[in-house]
Structure 1
Amino acid sequence: MVGYAFMGMAHSQGWRNARSFFTPPLRPALTALAGRDREAAADVADRFGWEGVETDWRALVERDDIDLIDICTPGDTHAEIAVAALEAGKHVLCEKPLANSVAEAETMAAAARAAAGRGVRSMVGFTYRRVPALALARRLVAEGRLGELRHVRAQYLQDWLTDPSVPMSWRMTRERAGSGALGDIGAHIVDLTRYLTGEHLVGVTALGDTFVRERPLPEGGGTAPVTVDDAVVFIGRLADGTPATFEATRCATGRKNAIRIELNGSRGSLAFDFEDMNVLHLHEGGTDGDTTTRGFTRILVTEPDHPYAGAWWPPGHVLGYEHAFAHQATDLLTAIADGSDPEPSFEDGLHVQRVLEAVQNSVERGSAWTAVDTGVPAGPAESSPPMKEEPIP
């Protein structure tokens, strides 16, 4: 694994728990952890059971005793590490967003396609797909329980940058992070929308803002400019014409990690909030039934037949943030053993990157409607927002 900070520790626990609570066909050996600060990396390695430490990620790629590279570093390093690892025949798990630009993501996706022909697998770490309640939501949508989809609304709300005294970090510079709230957390709700609906965005119109434009340097002695967004809001259409709204901010006072997504269909709706992550709210029957009891049902997603939940605790013993990383590791190990393509793929990550680019372009063009690049030449019908075929009464 490359990287040992917040996400590196989350992934470390995921690999460790995948072999403790699940029975994947391959058993992960935590062979080596790479970080530029040997002392800090060695501390994390010791705490999570990594066998050794390297100070250069290239050493991991060159080692014959390593079969998979897990990338938990800032976005500006993803492309170089992932391409080198894939070309060396290593399977790759790469944190989201896939890259800092569409060009980098295209290079990574091309390397993944070439590697797949040699049996080498790759996956993007959109870990929220592995939250049991969201996996159940996908199943319900695929079963047609909501009917025809009519609305999608998605939010990712945090407040850790509300205070202007929070010091600068790599997440606040475009050169390192690519974008701010848009890529850091907005990427998740773009991916979740595609995961839940099976449809991709074809166009967006967006606005964004940076509320605190200068931040103190962490070592003191002045300030530095913030070169990314604090918040973005955008609307879009899915390929089937469904309208969708999105909001991503790191300045929503009082919201710690509120991933909220709601789908409304002709026969039902579902709603989820990560701050109550074990619960999925489901409404079925449209406007049928007794009006005195019509509404949402609260489902506690901890039963043995719910996705992933049966491997853990008895019903009602809820899961937390860290459990989805074990689900992610288990799914990837299973795909490698089966010779199947894991999801989300680098192609999925590339699509998200194209949406992020369209959002940024729309903001820079005064909220102009901006088509999402699909990787193929656009036809006349794609020059304006697609609409549902049926007329509005």
Structure 2
Amino acid sequence: MVLRADGAKTIVELHGDWTVETVGRMDATLRDVEESVAPGDIVIDLSDLGLIDTAGAYIIGRVTRRCSEPDGDFHFIGEHPTARRLIEEVRARTTICPAEDEAGYGFGPALARIGAGIEAVLREALDTFAFLGKTIMTGFRTLANPQRLRLTPTIWAMEEVGVNAMPIIAVLSFFIGAVVAYMGANLLQTLGFSVFTVELVGIAVLREFGVLITAIMLAGRSDSAFTAQIGSMKMQQEIDAMRVLGLDPFEALVLPRVIACVLMAPLLTFGAMIAGIFGGMIVAWSAQDISPTLFIARFHQELPWDHFLVGMSKAPVFGLVVAIIGCRQGMMVSGDVESLGRRVTASVVQSIFAVIVLEAMFAMMYLELGI
């Protein structure tokens, strides 16, 4: 490339090939011309131009884009079979975005970041509800035509979500019940009410801890697996291939996992309750000399079924929320591994957050209902 002056005009003589492999070394010079010469005084000589591709067309056309007539004839001299047409085409399809303002410091920028965060949270919640609505409509469509239900993937997901998760959930619930019993032992012994440890363990495990531990373990274990499985299929374009074949990804991938979580969450919760009560009973026996016979008799005598039903009523809701969030994040994965990692992390964090919020809402609702 050669620059020469012709009166008030600056002529940019182009030599050789201007392709993606060669334009890098000319970019800085063209930027200097663009900044130092009036846009109407730039003339591009195409006489000795060789090959050109879209990268070369972009940086050549960039020097005249500030002019009111960037593709005017007065900007070009010499002949080339494709250069002018390609330059005009690239410019027409290029959007020039202004540089983003750097985030400053102080009260105003802090409020702007808070507002952007709140907007992102609301948008994420809205998109999640939209995904839930689409899943529900798919479920109704499957109910109207039951042979569309993918039974084999549903059974596989039930085994993965329920049977394989039961040991770890039972162990965690056992220790949670033991911890609650130890807390009761330390507190109630000082007051002479050691026997009330039975009620403490029963209410805590049946109403709150059993279903909460189950939901958190589903979020950490099954939810991340859903996101990784669907996300890897999205990365390898398997979901696009399913659509080309006329298969609905919601029927094939999302609905079986949602059904599995909704059905298996109550069973896992029941197992967690049994394990938690057993852990509390062992601690009460060893630390407070409350025999298993007395523990079970007082448990049946003093605790109504309401506590059990309250805990079990939360399980399908938590299972639905966990499955919806995990499947949606998997469907949002783009074509790189970094996106997959971000979506798996977001899936677990959002699921645990949603479970805690729903737990608080259930607690307030049952408090108002007197249950």
TM-score tier by shorter-chain length is under 0.3
Q: TM-score, normalised to structure 2's length?
A: 0.19
Bigger relative contact order, structure 1 or 2, given CA contacts below 8 A and separation 6+? Answer: 1
The structure carrying a bigger helix percent of its residues is 2
Larger radius of gyration: 2
TM-score by length of 1: 0.19
